[in-house]
Chain A
Amino acid sequence: MQILVPLINVIISGLILGSLYAVMSMGLTLIYGIGRIFNFAHGAFILWGGYFTWFLCTKFHLNYGVSVVLGILILFPVGWVVDRLLLYPLRRKPNFEINAVIVTLGLAILLGNAGDVIFGTRFKTIDQLTEGLLRMGRFTITHHDIATLVITVAILLFLELFLRKTTLGTAMRAISQDPVGAKIVGINLDRLFAFTFALAAALGGISGVLIAPRFFITPAVGWETLFKAVIIVIFGGLGSVKGTLIGAFILGMLEAFISMYLGMFWVSPMWFILLIIVLFIKPRGLFGTWA
C-alpha cells in the first residue's frame, strides 16, 4: 500500500493532465479534420479565453461564473470573423495549405502579444473554477481538477452527440469525408468552415479557462499550450478525434510519470522522442487518416 500511494497519485494527475490536453487539442483536430487547416493561432485563442475572463472579472466586476461563460462565448464570433477575413479569401487561391499555416502563425504572433499591449504586462490570473480539496483517505484532489475532468467528459460527450445526431454535425462529418460530395448535396461549405473555426475557437477558450488558474496568463502560455497540442495531434494523427483523445491521455500520463520520477524538465524531450518513434512506425500518427 505504501508503494501504491504515490503511484495512484501519479495516475490521477496523469488523468487530469490528459483531460486538460484533450480539450486543448480538440479544437485543432476539428479545424484540421473539417477545413484542412492547421491553426497556429489556437494557442492564442486559448490565451484569450483567459484574457477575456480575467478582463470581465477584474475590470467589469462581473460575477466569476458569468465572466467565464462570456469569456468563452466571445471567442465564438472571434473565430467566425477570423475565418471570414483571413481563410475565406485564401481558400480560393493556390497553395492554401501553406498559406493558411503562415497566416495563422502571423495571427498567433499578433494576438499572442496584443494582450500585453492592451492590458499591460503585469501578472494576470483568474480564480479556480471551484475552491477546495477533496480528501479520500490518503489521496487529495482539488475541486478544480475534478471540475476539469467533469467538463472534459461533458465536452467530449457533447461533441460526440453533436457530430452524430444533429444535422449540422452530420454536415461537418460529410465535409471531412468528401468536400466535393458535400457540396453537390447542397451543403454550404463556407458557412460550415466558419462555424467549425468559431466552435474550435470557443473550445480553445474553454481550455484557456481551465488552464489559466494554474499559471499566470502570459504570451508564453499561449505558445507552450500550442506546442503541446501540436505534439498531441501529430502523435494521435491529424484530424482524428479518437487519436487526439488517446494521444492526449497517453502523453498526459507520460508527463505525470516523468515529472514524478525524472523531473519536469524531461517531459518535453521525452514527448519528442516518443513522437519520433511513433512517426517512424506509423508516419500518420496513431490514427491518422489523411490521404
Chain B
Amino acid sequence: MGMTSDNATTIYERFLRRSTVILVLLLLILFPLYGDPYYTHLMLLSFIWAVVASAWNLIMGYAGIFSFGTLAFFAVGAYSSSLVEVWGGISPWPGLLLGGSSAALAGFIIAFPCLRIKGLYIVLVTVAFHQVIPIFIKLGGTWTGADVGLMDMPHYSLFGYDFGTYKICYYYLALFLFIVLHYIIYRIIGSNMGLAFVALRDSESFAESLGVNRAKFNVVVFVISSFIIGMMGALYVHYLKVATPRILEIEIFAGAIIMVVLGGLGKFPGVIISAFMVTFLNEFLRTAGLIRPILLGAIIIAVIMLFPSGLSGLVDSAYRYAGRTLHSLRPGKM
C-alpha cells in the first residue's frame, strides 16, 4: 500500500481513540443502572464542571486569553435564568438559553476592555469582575436572595415528566449537554476559527500580518466560552434548586483551575478527565473540613511544579504507545 509505518501507527492510534470515546459514552449512558443516587449525582456534577472547564480551556488554553472570569460568567448565567423564572414566571427551557445569552452578553462587554490589554492585565481585570458580581447579588436584596440565595425556580419538564420527581432526567439532560457542547468545542478547535485562536496565541503579530482579525476572534472566543459557561450555570442552579453567591467562592475557583491545569492548558480531552477527577476528589475531601482548601492549594502548586503539561501529556503518550504496540501485533507481520 505504500503506507509508511508511522502513518499506520496513527491510524491504529485513531482507531483506539475513537473506540475509547464510544465505549466511554456507552458506559456513561448506562451508568445510572448502577443505581447509587450519590454516584449518579457526582457524575452529573462532573458533566457540568467538565463543560465549564473545557469552555475555560477554549479561551485560556487555545486562545491564550488569561480570563479568570469563568465563575463570574457561571454566576451570571445562573442568576439571570433563575431571576427571570422566579419573578417572571418563564419556563426553564428558554431560561437555559437566556442564562447562556446573558453570560455571553457579559462576556461581550468584558471582551472590549480586554482587547486593548494583554496577559496579566486580563487576569486582573477579570478577577476584579469576579469580585464585583457578589456585590451586585447582595445589592439585589430580596430580589436576588442576597446571601441566603434564590430558591424555588421551577424544574424542567419534558413530555409531562417533571425533572424534580424524576431526578434521572437531570442526569440525561446534563449528559446530553455534555456531549453536544463538547462536540461543538471540539469542532471549533478543529475549525479555521480554532486555528486562528491558536495562531493569535502563539504569534500574535505574525497572525495579524496574515490577516487574522485579532479583535474579532478575541470577542468571539469570549462570547462562545461565556455562553457555554452561562448555560451550565443555569443548569447547575436548577439542579441544586438554589443560587447563592457561594458559587463564586475561592474554593470552587480553586477546583475549577485545578481541572484546567491538571488536564493541561490547551489540551482538549485531558481537561474532561481531570474535571471528573477533581469533582470526585473534592467530594471525598468534604470530610477533611478546614484542611480541604489547604490540600487544594497544595495540589495546584504540585501540578504546576511537577506536571506542567498536565494529564494530557500522559494520556497522549499512552495512546502513542498503545497504537505502536497494536501496529506491531497486526496480522500478517508474523
Contacts and interface: CB of A to CB of B under 8 A. Distances in A.
Nearest to A110: B297
A110 B121 contact: no
Interface in A236-289: 238, 265, 268-269, 272, 275-276, 279-280, 283-284
Counting contact residues on chain A (CB < 8 A from B), the size range is: 35 or more
A86 interface: yes
Contacts of B136: 269
Interface string B127-152: 11101100110110000000000000
Interface stretch (A8-16, A59-67, A94-102, A206-214): A94-102
A151 B6 CA distance: 68
A71 B246 CA distance: 33
Given A227-B128, A238-B120, A279-B113, A102 B300 contact: yes
A122 interface: no
B305 A113 contact: no
Interface in B273-300: 290-291, 293-294, 296-300
A231 interface: yes
B124 A38 contact: yes
B119 interface: yes
A108 interface: yes
Contacts of B169: none
B254 A86 contact: no
A108 B257 CA distance: 14
Contacts of A114: 294
A276 B114 CA distance: 10
- Count chain B CB atoms within 10 A of each CB in A103, A121, A290 and give the residue with the most: A103
B293 A109 contact: yes
A116 B305 CA distance: 26
- Main SS of the interface on chain A? helix
Contacts of A279: 113, 116-117, 121, 125
B37 interface: no
A38 B123 contact: yes
A113 B300 contact: no
B304 A102 contact: yes
A149 B291 CA distance: 38
Interface string A61-101: 00000000000000000000000001001100101011101
A284 B124 CA distance: 12
B116 A268 contact: no
Contacts of A227: 127-128, 131
Contacts of A95: 265, 308
A93 B308 CA distance: 9
Contacts of B251: 109
Interface in B26-50: none
Which of A102, A233, A283 neighbours the largest number of chain B CB atoms within 10 Å of its CB? A102
A234 B125 contact: yes
Given A234-B121, A280-B113, A86 B305 contact: yes
A284 B138 CA distance: 31
A38 B122 CA distance: 12
B300 A103 contact: yes
Contacts of A89: 305
Contacts of A290: 118, 121
B250 interface: yes
A113 B294 contact: yes
B66 interface: yes
A109 B252 CA distance: 11
Contacts of B132: 268-269, 272
B128 A265 contact: no
A110 B298 contact: yes
Contacts of A103: 300-301, 304-305
Nearest to A239: B120
A254 B129 CA distance: 19
A129 B234 CA distance: 49
A97 to B, nearest CB: 6
Given A227-B127, A283-B113, A117 B294 contact: yes
B124 A234 contact: yes
Contacts of A97: 119-120
A96 B128 CA distance: 22
A223 B135 CA distance: 15
A230 interface: yes
Interface in A38-73: 38
B120 A110 contact: no
A8 to B, nearest CB: 29
A107 B128 CA distance: 19
Contacts of A107: 297, 301
Nearest to A237: B121
B261 interface: yes
A290 B117 CA distance: 10
B113 A276 contact: yes
A90 B290 CA distance: 29
15 contacts: A86-B305, A95-B265, A103-B301, A107-B301, A109-B294, A110-B297, A117-B294, A227-B127, A230-B127, A238-B121, A269-B135, A279-B121, A280-B116, A283-B113, A290-B121
Give 5 nearest A-B pairs by CB, closest first: A106-B300, A110-B297, A109-B297, A283-B116, A106-B301
Given A98-B265, A110-B298, A116-B290, 17 more contacts: A86-B305, A89-B305, A90-B305, A93-B308, A95-B308, A97-B120, A101-B123, A107-B297, A109-B250, A109-B251, A113-B290, A117-B291, A117-B294, A230-B124, A234-B125, A238-B120, A276-B113
Interface of A: 32, 38, 86, 89-90, 93, 95, 97-99, 101-103, 105-114, 116-117, 121, 223, 227, 230-231, 233-234, 238, 265, 268-269, 272, 275-276, 279-280, 283-284, 290
